[in-house]
Amino acid sequence: MSLSRLLVTVLNRLQPSAETVMLVSAIAVGVISGTAVTLFRKLILFAQEFYWHKLAVVLSAKWSWAIICIPMIGALVVSLLRLKLDLVEANASNRDIGQLSYTQVPLKTVAAALSLGAGASLGPEGPSVELGSNIGSLLGQMMQFSTERIRLLIGAGGAAGLAAGFNAPIAGVFFALEVLLRDSYRTDKSSPNSDVSVVVIASVISALVSQISLGERPAFSLPVYEVRSYWELPLYLGLGVLASVVALLFTRAIKQAKRFFAGEWAIAPFMQNLAMPIKLLIGGFCVGIIALTFPEAIGIGYETVESILQDTPFKIPLLIILLVVKLLLTAISSASGFVGGIFAPSIFLGAVLGSLYGQAIASFLPASIPIAASPAYALVGMAAVLAGTVRAPLTSVLLLFEMTRDYRIVLPLMAAVGLCAWVLDQIDSSKSDRMIMQWSDLPADIEVLEKIKIAEVMTLNPASVKYSMPLLQAAQFITSGYHHSALILDDINHLQGIVTTQDLKRFLSAPAGDRPLEEMTVQNICTSEVICTFADESLADALKRMATRDLRQMPVVDRHQPKRVIGMVDRLAITTAYNTALTKRAIAARITATKPTLPVATIHATAITNGSSNNASDKSNGGENNLSNTLDSTSNNNLNTESDIHSSESISS
């Protein structure tokens, strides 16, 4: 019996509370993620040893230029894994959230390890975060958790992966809350502390496992830095501005490289017809060329970063070359098909930029002005570029603080990181609107949804049961009416919770507990923390709230009496109302354009059709099952771990 199945059996027999179940699940995610990330790191070291020591010695003994072939050989090996992975993903395309194939996770992990071992200019932290998130998702699938709990375990696994990768549990927690679970904390929530506890425990346990296996040594060996003068703060602000420029160029270079390899460039349309192994060979050839000339830029690059932080002399021209080469090589490695993240390249670029900046200002300023050495600026540059690339300023500050464990560097660190994040937010101000719409099947035309109120599309008499109704009787009622859920009301018809068919299925399929099933009521298994909306709110507000827990429908309550239910709104009604509004707008534009030439009777008939569309919107809950299935499938695919956490470092870029 596997560990997960043993955990399920034990929890079902003990019948613990929901908080206890999530606590035990967090510990399991931390242990498994920490172990998996440790094995992943050891596999990278094994691949590096094989490619760049054993194989390189054999090839270079015959031809000095044969080192170019090493990344190309690695590309061929990775392409075989990618082909197998694509086949697995194609077979799993119709799975719901958390329904990952069990072979998918190890295939991605091995492909990432072999990519990094072959010299691809990417990082291990993204695959580590993805590995932890996938473990959380798989555990939630085995435990038959709800969508909300699976998403929480995905965040906990991501935190565990980052914590194990950097030996930085605090940064792992904030990465999960700031990036992976960011939308869940933008709406009102009655008990966020329990969710944070799950993430914290998973991160701490994973970091502990990593320390036991790999040692307590931090990611970098850093000297003790000294802030020579607080008058240096404007200089660090200048570094923050430069870091925002580098981060912007870096993310756009990756996007343009992906467009090039997809054949979207006018000068290279033939790239679209090339097979994936050929694209990987092109990327491997570029890595091999750079390995001959600038070996410092290939691979993860942490050796170069540590040399910069230890104040090893790097001339300004060499730093400029490394900055440009690393940026372009990372974009090519990512776009050509190598597997890895952009966390490590961001740190590399930040260290090079900071060292370059520190040396440049030291050469311009007179010697009488005390400033810190260039490694101090390299450290701040690492955090600033990382924050600009992954859009996680708090994570970046805490990550670098955990590495140095020196409080004196925090003020300049926060100044540069904060300014860099602010500059990039001003440039990309449309991001928040896109995130509101990413969970639905609707285009990002949010103005349409903002003009439609909940009262126009809600159902007036939602399915409901009394909180004292026996569980089996409630299950029969819900399934006989083909309801997805039912509201739980007390004796005075006040809202007490909600129960879904998924809750019923999970409870009825579990082994019998100490309490007989006949004595159970819906109050014992319902969700008491219910997200609600108001009749005077817009559909955009409702859609955003529904996205936080992947809800299919949401109660509408009285604003002055929040426990009194007045209706229910669902995704099908929102989709129908949205499409109807777009159709009405198109009809109006058409009528306006053709009004001088249309007969009066034609215009009148068009208006009648318009009115019929509006009536159809009011009856949106009566049918259209195909549209509902499409919406549910699309939303679940959006929540699938692969699209949520597909190299979690790169989702923010």
One DSSP character per residue, 19-67 reads HHHHHHHHHHHHHHHHHHHHHHHHHHHHHHHIIIIIIHHHHHHH-GGGG
Question: What pLDDT shows up at residue 597?
Answer: 47
Q: What sign does the CA torsion over 82, 88, 91, 94 have?
A: negative
Lowest model confidence (mean pLDDT) among 74-83, 146-155, 388-397: 146-155
Q: What is the mean pLDDT of residues 290-319?
A: 88
pLDDT digits (tens, 9 = 90+) for 452-470: 888 888 888 888 888 888 8
Confidence at 641, pLDDT banded by 50, 70, 90: very low
Question: What pLDDT shows up at residue 513?
Answer: 62
Q: What is the mean pLDDT of residues 507-534?
A: 76
With 60 as the cut, is the pLDDT of residue 648 above it? no
Confidence at 23, pLDDT banded by 50, 70, 90: confident
The SS3 of residue 465 is strand
Lowest model confidence (mean pLDDT) among 115-129, 269-283, 410-424, 505-519: 505-519
More confidently predicted of 375 and 430: 375
User: Domains of the chain (ranges plus CATH)?
Assistant: 3-217 (1.10.3080.10), 230-273+293-428 (1.10.3080.10), 446-622 (3.10.580.10)
Confidence at 83, pLDDT banded by 50, 70, 90: confident
More confidently predicted of 485 and 216: 485
With 60 as the cut, is the pLDDT of residue 643 above it? no
- C-beta neighbour count of 476 within 10 angstroms: 11
- C-beta neighbour count of 629 within 10 angstroms: 11
Question: What pLDDT shows up at residue 88?
Answer: 72
640 and 130 Cβ atoms separated by less than 8 Å? no
Question: What pLDDT shows up at residue 102?
Answer: 62
With 70 as the cut, is the pLDDT of residue 45 above it? yes
With 70 as the cut, is the pLDDT of residue 405 above it? no
Confidence at 16, pLDDT banded by 50, 70, 90: low
Question: What pLDDT shows up at residue 394?
Answer: 86
Question: What pLDDT shows up at residue 145?
Answer: 78
DSSP 522: G
One DSSP character per residue, 225-267 reads P----GGGHHHHHHHHHHHHHHHHHHHHHHHHHHHHHTT-STT
Question: What pLDDT shows up at residue 280?
Answer: 93
Interatomic CA distance for residues 540 and 570, integer angstroms: 13
With 70 as the cut, is the pLDDT of residue 652 above it? no
Interatomic CA distance for residues 407 and 642, integer angstroms: 37
With 80 as the cut, is the pLDDT of residue 26 above it? yes
Q: Do β-strands 533-534 and 553-557 pair in parallel, antiparallel, or remain unpaired?
A: parallel
Question: What pLDDT shows up at residue 250?
Answer: 94
With 60 as the cut, is the pLDDT of residue 622 above it? no
Q: What percentage of the chain reaches a pLDDT higher than 90?
A: 19
Confidence at 397, pLDDT banded by 50, 70, 90: confident
Report helix angle 125-142 to 3-14, nearest 10: 50
More confidently predicted of 293 and 518: 293
Lowest model confidence (mean pLDDT) among 86-90, 199-203, 512-516, 531-535: 512-516
pLDDT digits (tens, 9 = 90+) for 298-308: 989 888 988 88
Question: What pLDDT shows up at residue 606?
Answer: 38
Owner of token pair 């925002």: 244
Lowest model confidence (mean pLDDT) among 52-61, 95-104, 128-137, 270-279: 95-104
Helix or strand (DSSP H, E) at 335: helix 316-336
478 and 486 Cβ atoms separated by less than 8 Å? yes
Question: What pLDDT shows up at residue 610?
Answer: 41
Question: What pLDDT shows up at residue 108?
Answer: 86
More confidently predicted of 605 and 558: 558
Q: What is the mean pLDDT of residues 51-72?
A: 84
Q: What is the mean pLDDT of residues 56-73?
A: 84
With 90 as the cut, is the pLDDT of residue 401 above it? no
One DSSP character per residue, 364-425 reads HS-TTS----HHHHHHHHHHHHHHHHHT-HHHHHHHHHHHH--GGGHHHHHHHHHHHHHHHH
Question: What pLDDT shows up at residue 95?
Answer: 47
Q: What is the mean pLDDT of residues 633-653?
A: 38
